[in-house]
Structure 1
Amino acid sequence: MAGFIEIGRIVGAQGLTGEVRVYPSSDFPERFLEPGNRWLLPPGATDPKLIELVQGRYLESKGLYIVQIAGITDRNQAEALRNSVVLVSEQDRPLLEEDEFYILDLIGLEVFDQASQTLIGTVINVLSAGNDLLEVQRNLDQTSDRVSTKTVLIPFVKAIVPVVDLSQHRIEITPPAGLIE
C-alpha cells in the first residue's frame, strides 16, 4: 500500500482481555512495544484505519508479540482482527546506519556481476539465516515462447555484495566460484 509499511499480521487472540498475537515482519521491536499510533488493514479492506497500540510484549518462545489495542477489550473483538495487517506510515521509518537497508528497498533491485557487468537476476526476497541471504531470480532461457527461471541465494555480506545503489536500482556482487552456477 502506498504510504504504508507492513510491520506484522494479527494471527489470533491472546487470553480473554482483548490482547492480540502479532507475527512480525519488521526488525524493529519498538514498533510492537512502544505505545502510539499504528494503522490496521482488516482482510478485504482497502483503506487502513488508525489504531492506538497501548502496550506490547515479546514472546520469545513463539517469535511473536502480544499487543493491546485501545478499544479492544475482549476475546471476541480481538478474534475479529485475525489476519489484519498492522502498518506504520512510511515517514515512521527509523534512520539506518551506513550499509543498512530496508528489505522492501532491496526487493526488485537488479543484481550484476561487478567484474563483467553481466545481469545475474533480480532480488525477489531477503531471507534470514545467520547472515541475510538475497534470493535472486535468474532468467536463464528467454526464447519467444518460454522463460526458464531459477533462484540463487547470495550471502548479503560486504565481501560478496560490495555495492548497493538504491538510486540506480542495482546491486553489484563479486561472487566466489560456484555461487551462481
Structure 2
Amino acid sequence: MPEVGMLLMGVVVGAKGIKGEVKIKSFTENPEDVGAYGPLMDASGKMTFNLKIVGLSKGLPVARIKGISDRNAAEALKGTQLYVSRDRLPETKEEEEYYHADLIGLPVFFQDGTKFGIILRLHDFGAGDMLEIVPEGKGEKAAVLVPFTVEMVPEVDISGGRVVVELGEDFFEVPENPESAAKP
C-alpha cells in the first residue's frame, strides 16, 4: 500500500532489449510524461527510480532506469508500481479537471445536504469515468457506481472537501426483467 499523498504514475510491464530498458504502462495524460516529475518510488517508498525515457514500443514508453543495466535486472522489476508525491504534480488547468487521488476519500452528499457516502475509487471503463461510492454505514460490498458527469455530479469542491450528487428518484430501482414478467 502506498503512502498517503502518493500517486500511481505507471507500472513496469516488462523488459525491452538486453541493456536493461523497461516498458512502462503509463497513467499520465501523455505516456512519455511518466518520468517528467522527478524520481519515482515503489509502493513502499523505499526504492527510488530515476527514469530516462528513450522511446516508445507499441505505444508504451521505454525507459532506462539508473542502476539497471541488463535484461535480468529489468525483468525483475516487472509489476513494480511507480509512484510520485502529489505535491510534484502541477495544478490542474481546467476548473472541472481533477486528479483522481484528490477525489478519493471525499464525502459525497445529496443536494439536500444528506450524506450519501465516501468516494472509494474512480474507474474508466472506456465510456467515461465512474465514481465508486460506499454508502454511509455500509461496507465496500455495497458500493455504487455513479457516472462522473455534470448531470450526476453537479458539484465538486476539492478545497471544501465535498462532492454533491444528483441521482434521479429511480436511480436505485432495479428494472424488472420483461421476459420473467411475461411468464405465468
Q: TM-score range by the shorter chain?
A: 0.7 to 0.9
Match of 2:18 in 1: 16
Q: Residue 88 in 1 paired to residue 90 in 2?
A: no
Unaligned runs of 5+ in 1: 142-146
Q: 1:180 to 1:53 in 2, by over 3 A?
A: farther
Picking from 135, 138, 149, the partner of 2:135 is 138
Give 1:12-161 correspondences, 5 Å limit. 12-32=14-34, 37-41=38-42, 45-57=44-56, 59-60=58-59, 64-96=60-92, 97-114=94-111, 116-129=112-125, 130-139=127-136, 150-161=142-153
Picking from 153, 167, 174, the partner of 1:175 is 167
Q: 1:26 to 1:32 in 2, by over 3 A?
A: closer
- Following superposition, the deviation at residue 14 of structure 1 comes to 2.2
Q: Percent identity among equivalent residues? A: 32
Unaligned runs of 5+ in 2: 174-184
Q: 1:117 to 1:37 in 2, by over 3 A?
A: closer
Secondary structure at 1:26 match in 2:
coil
More moved, 66-75 vs 126-135 = 66-75
Q: 1:90 to 1:28 in 2, by over 3 A?
A: farther
- Following superposition, the deviation at residue 25 of structure 1 comes to 3.5
Match of 2:180 in 1: none
Secondary structure at 1:76 match in 2:
helix
Secondary structure at 2:142 match in 1:
strand
Distance in 1 (alpha carbons) for counterparts of 2:80 and 2:118: 29
Tell me the TM-score normalized by structure 1: 0.77
User: 1:129-178: CA deviations, max 9, x gaps?
Assistant: 3221101111466xxxxx69511111111122111112232101111232
* Greater than 6 Å deviation, 4+ residue runs: none
Pair member with larger Rg: 2
Distance in 1 (alpha carbons) for counterparts of 2:35 and 2:91: 18
Distance in 1 (alpha carbons) for counterparts of 2:172 and 2:107: 15
- Following superposition, the deviation at residue 46 of structure 1 comes to 4.2
Q: Structure 1: which amino acid aligns with 2:56?
A: R
Q: Structure 2: which amino acid aligns with 1:22?
A: I
User: 1:88-120: CA deviations, max 9, x gaps?
Assistant: 333331331111000001111111111x22211
Tell me the TM-score normalized by structure 2: 0.76
Secondary structure at 1:5 match in 2:
strand
Q: 1:127 to 1:169 in 2, by over 3 A?
A: same
CA RMSD of aligned residues (A): 2.7
Distance in 2 (alpha carbons) for counterparts of 1:180 and 1:81: 44
Contact 1:139–1:150, Cα closer than 8 Å, also in 2? no
- Following superposition, the deviation at residue 3 of structure 1 comes to 5.5
